[in-house]
Amino acid sequence: MPEGDTIFRAARTMHRVLAGRIVARFECVYPLVTRAADAHGVVGRAIDSVTSRGKHLLINFSGGLALHTHMRMNGSWHLYPDGARWQRPRPDARVLVGCDGVVAVGFLVPVVELLTDRQLRRHASLRALGPDLLASAFDSADAAEIAGRARARGDEPIGDILLNQRIAAGIGNVFRSEILFLAGVDPFRTGASLSDEELGRIIATARRLLSANVRNDAGSPGRAAGRRTTRSLDPDEKLWVYGRGGRPCRRCGAVILSKKTGPDARIVYWCSGCQPAMADG
């Protein structure tokens, strides 16, 4: 599933290419979206901006209309000059926004909605999102809100809490393992057991890692090939723990552990030496 950094980069690249252009072509395989596009007259509107909110991407049209998409596990947006060969088969296309000289194609995107300003403001999923860790206006109040929401989860493990977009928007499976490793926190510590200092360290690490991974484009709006959490330039040493179960920790040499956890049975990775479990009692 694309994480917040991937969606942020996608929105930034699409904004750079599409903002200010007039929509000349709009297609979607979902009938409700097609009917809404016809009713609201998407063709002929200008694209004002392309933005992200956590893992959600919004193409904002003039006149108070927005195309809301969520990639889930396999979706991605591609940009192509007119006449260019697509990198994915046409049957995989779910939505298309064409302008003079360029086309944006959403492949295997399962969530596509055309929303008015009022619908956008009232959208249940978007309203429920926690603070966006990549928001330019992110501040201490946002950090405090995330800490409060995390602690309110009680006995839920912090490794699962970080995947909950209602707590903080933007963290996915790769980053949760890397964040907790760098913060020195065992993923099975409960939200209620974490101190203010520990929660603050987790939140600061999350924002730092996500921000570091959006400083440069990764080429295509849907790719995260440049994602890294270590400072190594070695392409085989991009990450500290994710995907390294059973191998030695790059920092202390202890064995990297892994376990499926949470309602979606996602695998979390952690170091048995650098992330000690809290002692009983």
b/e sequence 196-211, b meaning 16+ C-beta within 10 Å: eebbbbbbebbbebbe
* Least confident stretch, 126-130, 224-228, 246-250: 224-228
Q: Which residues contact 265 (CB under 8 A, 6 or more apart)?
A: none
d(CA 151, CA 90): 46
Residue type for position 102: V
**In this predicted structure, what is the pLDDT of residue 280?**
46
Q: What is the mean pLDDT of residues 63-87?
A: 95
Q: Give the pLDDT of residue 215.
A: 78
| 266 carries an active-site annotation | yes
CA distance 213 to 57: 17
The rounded distance, in Å, linking the Cα atoms of 118 and 40 is 14
| pLDDT level of residue 98 (50, 70, 90 thresholds) | very high
In the predicted model, what is the mean pLDDT of residues 263-278?
92
Q: Mean pLDDT over residues 181-185, rounded?
A: 97
Rounded Cα gap, residues 215 and 235, in angstroms:
18
**What band does 279 get if pLDDT is binned at 50, 70 and 90?**
low
Residues 95 and 27 sit within 8 Å (Cβ to Cβ): yes
Query: 140-271, what's its fold?
Result: Helicase, Ruva Protein; domain 3 (1.10.8)
| Nearest Cα to Cα of residue 17 among 88, 89, 105 | 105
What's the rounded Cα separation, in Å, for the pair 123 and 73? Answer: 21
Identify the active-site residue in 45, 55, 228, 244. 55
Check residue 264 and give its pLDDT. Answer: 85
At residue 259, the pLDDT reads 97
For the chain, the domains span 4-128, 140-271
pLDDT at 101 over 50: yes
Assess whether 3 carries a catalytic annotation. yes
Show the beta-strand stretches assigned E in 45-198: 47-53, 56-61, 65-70, 76-81, 93-99, 102-107, 111-116
pLDDT at 228 over 90: no
> Active site residue: 149, 153, 238, 266, which one?
266
Q: Name the DSSP class of 179.
A: H
The yes-or-no verdict on residue 1 having pLDDT over 80 is: no
Could you check whether 4-128 and 140-271 share the same CATH topology? no
For residue 220, pLDDT over 60 is answered with no
* Dihedral sign (CA 104, 54, 58, 263): positive
Q: Are 28 and 193 in contact (CB under 8 A)?
A: no
Active site residue 2: yes
Q: 153 near 191, Cβ under 8 Å?
A: yes
Angle at 242 between CA 240 and CA 245, to 5 degrees: 100
Measure the N-to-C terminal CA separation of the chain; round to a whole number of Å: 37
Print burial letters for 141-151: b (CB count within 10 Å at least 16), e (below 16). ebbeebbebbb
Amino acid at residue number 208: R
- Per-residue pLDDT at 218: 47
Q: What is the pLDDT of residue 227?
A: 79
- Indicate the CATH number of 4-128 among 3.20.190.10, 1.10.40.30, 3.90.380.10, 3.40.50.300: 3.20.190.10
Tell me the percentage of the chain whose pLDDT exceeds 90.
86
User: Binning pLDDT at 50, 70 and 90, where does residue 219 land?
Assistant: very low
In the predicted model, is pLDDT for residue 126 greater than 90? yes
Asked whether the predicted pLDDT for residue 281 surpasses 70, the reply is no
